[in-house]
Amino acid sequence: MNITVQGIGAVSPAGWGVEKLREVLEKNTPLPATELARPGWTGGLRVRAVPPPQTRPAIFAQPRLRRASPISQYAVAAAMEALGSSVEKINRGEVRLGIIFCVMSGCVNYSRRFYDETLRDPATASPLVFPETVFNAPASHLASLLGSRGRCYTMVGDPGTFLQGLALAAQWLGEKQVDGCLVVGAEELDWLTADASRLFCRDSVLSAGAGAVYLTESSSAEGPVLSAVTDAHLFLRNQSPACAAAKMRAQLPSLAEPSLLCDGLQQVARADRDELRAWDHWQGARLSPKAILGEGFAAASAWQCVAALDALKTRAFQGANVSVVGCNQQAIGAQFLAKPAL
């Protein structure tokens, strides 16, 4: 049996949809950054924001999304694209759907707003805003819109968490706990996150959006398939990020040519150092979505997977490695094959 990729979806600074993502990645030119106002500063913080959709998706009219912050909108749009026609079956209860939602910063817009209200006067802090601050609010909206009653986990951690989500999805599918599993990585922009991120890497440009991968278990020879996820190698006092990245690389099986590496390089020396070293002898093609779109944490690792999968479908690669050397937790890799191994 194979863990088959049934669909992919993306919302990014490139726009809404995988096609927009592909167009921008093919140009291979970093998107221009804009300035996000930061209280107390005359200047702003450099970010890459998601442009407004050309037409507002009809699903945004659902009551659950009326107050939802951008992270939920990005996640829902990416998820719906990944699910495609499967949405109807899920709505009818014909598919036991698992949802794994991965974030690092999460619902920071409303969290900042609610805490600000608390500091000003807790007696008037909004009860409508608080529930939207909770990490699992976007996943809850998604489950509600899909009418899904099955397992729904929100996993928190650095960007590598999205790949952990893929591994968990494979586990659920392998144990027949679900018929299909949607793995979503999403983030939203806020000056608070951009300010915090800048403290660790001044040249990194923060971005936002979502990526989604819909997986099922299947015996068919149709691809692409998720063939491997490495262990999550933690950054510890006795295990540096460089060491963790090297272990991740060593754990990924070799690929038949032509092959692709979809890495997490940002073209920022400090941020890229350990990952560059881990992959310095890589001979195949290379794609670096974050260098073009920015650092989108859980959304960015999801874009890496979506970009790799899209390249497997639209270009002639046999397989693709996705490498994530996270900000402060772990190095982890995944491998997709264009067709299941016989």
Partner 1 sequence: MVTGAGVITALGRGWKENSTGFRSGKTAFRPVTLFDVSKQRAKFAAEVSIPENLPQTRLTFRQMKRMDRASKLLLLAAVEAWGQSRWEPKEDLPIVLGTTSGGMAMGEAFYRHALSTPSKHARQPTRVASYQCQRQALDVCEAFGIHGPLTLIANACSSGANAIGHAWELVRCGAAERVLTGGYDALSHMVFSGFDSLQALSTTVCRPFDAARDGLALGEGAAVLALETLESALQRRAEILGEIVSYGAATDAHHLTQPHPDGDAALAAMQEATHLAGLNPDQVGYVNAHGTGTHLNDSSEAAAINRWAGDHAAKVRVSSTKSSIGHLLGAAGAVEAVVCLMSLREGWLPPTSTIKTPDPVCQFSLVTSPETASVDYALSNSFGFGGANASLLLRRWQ
Minimum gap (Å) between residue 106 Cβ and partner 1: 8
Minimum gap (Å) between residue 145 Cβ and partner 1: 8
Minimum gap (Å) between residue 229 Cβ and partner 1: 10
- The DSSP code for 337 is E
Nearer to partner 1 by C-beta: 112 or 315? 112
Minimum gap (Å) between residue 85 Cβ and partner 1: 21
Minimum gap (Å) between residue 236 Cβ and partner 1: 6
Nearer to partner 1 by C-beta: 147 or 258? 147
Nearer to partner 1 by C-beta: 224 or 296? 296
CA angle centred on 340, ends 299 and 284, rounded to 5°: 60
Nearer to partner 1 by C-beta: 10 or 228? 228
Nearer to partner 1 by C-beta: 16 or 191? 191
Gap between the Cα atoms of 214 and 170, Å rounded: 11
Nearer to partner 1 by C-beta: 24 or 186? 186
Minimum gap (Å) between residue 285 Cβ and partner 1: 29
Residue 23: enclosing H or E segment and its boundaries?
helix 18-27
Which residues of the shown chain bind partner 1 in the complex (CB under 8 A)? 38-41, 64, 99, 103-104, 106, 111-112, 114-116, 118-119, 121-123, 125-127, 130-137, 139-141, 143-144, 147-158, 161, 164, 168, 171, 175, 192, 195-196, 199-200, 231-239, 328-330
Residue 34: CB atoms within 10 Å? 14
- By DSSP bridging, strand 285-287 and strand 225-229 are unpaired
Residue 26, amino acid = E
Residue 66: CB atoms within 10 Å? 8
Which parts of the chain are beta strand (E)? 2-12, 15-16, 34-37, 44-48, 97-103, 152-156, 180-187, 206-207, 209-218, 225-229, 233-234, 259-262, 285-287, 319-325, 330-337
Nearer to partner 1 by C-beta: 37 or 256? 37
φ, ψ at 32 (rounded to 5°): -65, 145
Whether the upstream peptide bond of residue 289 has omega within 30° of 0, thus cis, is no
Q: Looking up tokens 């970009």, which residue turns up?
A: 307
Minimum gap (Å) between residue 197 Cβ and partner 1: 8
